Amino acid sequence: MILKENNGQISIEFIFIISFIILLSFVTINLVSNENELNIAMSAARSGINEGILIDSIAIYPKSTFDDYLKNKEFLIHPNYIKFEKIIIRNSEFDSKYNKTRIQLQVYVSSTTVTEKNDQNALGDRINYNLRKSITTSFNTSHLSNALYNPAYSKNYIFTTTNVVWN
């Protein structure tokens, strides 16, 4: 006798589609997560750069920094105009010691007011610091890094920064 049960059954097409989707996602997940990690890192870097530039340009600093600048770099306690231009990957090589890819980032900014080399270095260091900090907090890896977040770690990459280029 053929059982005629119509309720509570999944059609074979449905099972095919689901298993195909699962197979496909297993294959692509590796690729996608790798790309996604780089994407997150770069967007974190950008938001860190923005934060650094904003602190530099509105010149409201932590008290100790302010007092230090007041003594040594008085120019920096006044607001400055700084514009973010681009961020490039300077070097990228595989580091077998950490089993991660090492990426060196370089930021380009332009400013009509900041022209002294020392001032540029002080402001540039803050931009780089915030860049690394942002990447580190995005991947929750502050326990791996030092107080200056140098280098910044993600799952498969190590990020370092080099001096900011001022135009």
Kindly list the residues in this chain that would bind another protein in the complex (CB under 8 A).
40, 44, 47-48, 50-51, 54-55, 58-63, 66-67, 70, 77-79, 134, 137-138
Enumerate long-range contacts of 11-16, CB under 8 Å, 24 or more apart: none
Residues 42, 89: contact at Cβ < 8 Å? no
Residue placing its CB nearer to another protein in the complex, 56 or 105: 56
Residue 31's Cα: distance from chain center in Å?
19
* Half-sphere exposure for 7 (CA within 13 Å, toward CB): 0
Query: CB within 8 A of 121, min separation 6: which ones?
Result: 163
Instruction: Report the residue number, 67 or 85, with the smaller CB distance to another protein.
Output: 67
Least Cβ distance, residue 160 to another protein (angstroms): 20
| In the complex, least distance from residue 126 CB atom to another protein, rounded to whole angstroms | 13
Q: How far is the CB of 122 from another protein (least distance, A)?
A: 16
Q: Which of 17, 25, 40, 63 is nearest to 135 (CA)?
A: 40
Q: Which is nearer to another protein, 68 or 125 (CB)?
A: 68
Instruction: Write down the least CB distance from residue 18 to another protein, Å.
Output: 11
Comparing CB distances to another protein, the nearer of 23 and 54 is 54
